[in-house]
Every structure is written in C-alpha cells, then in structure tokens.
Amino acid sequence: MALALDRIRVGSAPDSWGVWFPDDPQQVPWERFLDEVAEAGYSWIELGPYGYLPTDPARLTDEVTKRNLQVSAGTIFCGLHRGPSEWDSTWEQVSRVAALTQAMDAKHLVVIPSFWRDDKTAEILEPPELTTEQWRNLTTGMERLGREVKDRYGLDIVVHPHADTHIDTEEHVEQFLDSTDSDAVNLCLDTGHYAYCGGDSVKLIETYGERIGYLHLKQVDPDILADVVENEMPFGPAVARGVMCEPPAGVPELGPVLTAAQKLGVDLFAIVEQDMYPCEPDKPLPIAVRTRKFLRSCGA
C-alpha cells in the first residue's frame, strides 16, 4: 500500500503561469492567475515576485479569500555573499516582502541567492565559484537574515538552491547546510533545480531531512538538459527551450520524493513550480489541472 501523504500540503505559484517579474507584458494578469490556480484545484499559493499580486494586505486578503486560497510563502533574491555592504539593500527588500507575507498568515520566506550569470543576456556577472571569504559572508549573512526575519516577522527563511547561482550543485548545497545553523536557516528543496544541477532529491531528503523546510515540485526534461549542459546554456534560454517540463514526463520522479518527504514526519508545503517564462496565456491552466490530478494519483 502506498504511503498516505497526509503531511504534504500541495500548492502552486505564479511561476507555473509563466510569471517571473512584477510587471511584464508577456505575463497573464494577476486576476487570471488567481482565478485559474483556484480552478485547477489548488488551495495554497505563493506571492511570486513582489508587486505582481496586490501588495495591500487587505485587498490581497479579500482576493485570495473569495477564491478559497491561502498564501504559503513570499520570495526574495539576495547577494549576501558580497558582504556586510549588501545588508541594508537586502533588508529593504526583505522587510517589504516579509511584512506582506506575515499579513497573509504565511510562515515562510523563500530566499534565492543572486545569479552569477544573467538569465536573459548570458552575461557573466560574477565568478561561478565563491571564495572562502564569500562563503563565510553568505553563510553568516543568511543566518543573520534568518534570525532577524524570525524575530521581526515570525517567519522561517528557507534558502532555495537555484541554477546559475552559487548554491546549486549537491556539493554546494551540502557545503551550505554544513556551514549554517538549522535554528536560523533551512532549505527550500526545488526538485527541478536540484536535478538540473545534477543532484538527487531523495538522497538529499534522506541525508539532510531535518534541514528540509519546504519543497518546490518541478521536473526537468533529461534530453533538453543534456543539450543545455553540453552548450553551457544560461537558465533563462533553457527554460524557453522547455527544460522544465510537465510531470510526470521528466526527472526526478515525484512519487519517491513525496514519499521520502512524508517519512520525515513533519508538515511540509510542496508547491508546484513549472518554469515557463515566457508562455502563451492559455497554456498554464490545462497543465496545472493535469499536474494536480497527477499529484493526487501519488497520494498528495
């Protein structure tokens, strides 16, 4: 008998509707996203890029409540590896997003490290490997961020390994976890990004289970990924090629990932994020419906 996935709370995000930016003519209007994510059968959402959804808490509460939706997390990007000089600009962004996240009764802030390669132009912005000092800046900065966000907003930060950032591969993810305090910071495991960078999600959950605080469910097309790797393609163009694909067509298999997560014995969000920027406006809803049906077949 399959393990009942009663500790897993499934949701979706603006990302699965092709939304990467607060405002972009290629993206669907926020009202349509909210209508369609509810229609697809999800009850949990993320805020997406700050400013895409309404930022007035009263209005956003009204909009999500009337669609029977709830918010699980907000998201920020930061470059804390650059040192203490980054703190003020980071906190300015964090405080806006964290305040809205708190007002929506969510408990998590997803933190994505800044890109070393521009996802649109492929320009190399920084070396892909951090120095020892930069690693120390990154880990101590994330711990400080986790403690400040917890103290001021009651939120847990979960750091999101991401392609074309300094926390990407199995080696880098393990180095980050081994260098940080679980009381201050834990991980948002994105199964697609981790596979994109060569990692094994089930192994990570089984090895570092106490550090897994949140999940993003995503798959990669192994054939497209092989071409991406061979040609050193940046993440943005790789997404446009369709490297992130509709489950269950890609890797990793999500059933074993969800089973491993359930065995941790803690409540976890598992938010579907199929990167599709840019995409035709009519494309996301049918995929979201099929993905929700597939996850139900896995027991989620």
User: pLDDT averaged over the chain?
Assistant: 96
How far is Cα 113 from Cα 128, in angstroms, rounded to an integer?
Answer: 12
CB 76 within 8 Å of CB 113 = no
Each domain of the chain, given as residue ranges in start order, spans 8-298
Instruction: Note the pLDDT of residue 122.
Output: 80
Q: What CATH code is assigned to 8-298?
A: 3.20.20.150
pLDDT tens by residue, 60-99: 999 999 999 999 999 999 999 999 999 999 999 999 999 9
Confidence label for 3 from pLDDT (cuts 50, 70 and 90)? confident
CB 165 within 8 Å of CB 114 = yes
Task: Please give the model's pTM, rounded to 2 decimal places.
Answer: 0.97
Confidence label for 157 from pLDDT (cuts 50, 70 and 90)? very high
Instruction: Note the pLDDT of residue 123.
Output: 87
Cis peptide bond N-terminal to 248, omega within 30: yes
How far is Cα 65 from Cα 43, in angstroms, rounded to an integer?
Answer: 10
Confidence label for 2 from pLDDT (cuts 50, 70 and 90)? low
Is 50 exceeded by the pLDDT of residue 1? no
Q: DSSP of 146-206, one letter per residue?
A: HHHHHHHH--EEEE---TTBSS-SHHHHHHHHHTS-TTT-EEEEEHHHHHHTT--HHHHHH
Instruction: Note the pLDDT of residue 55.
Output: 98
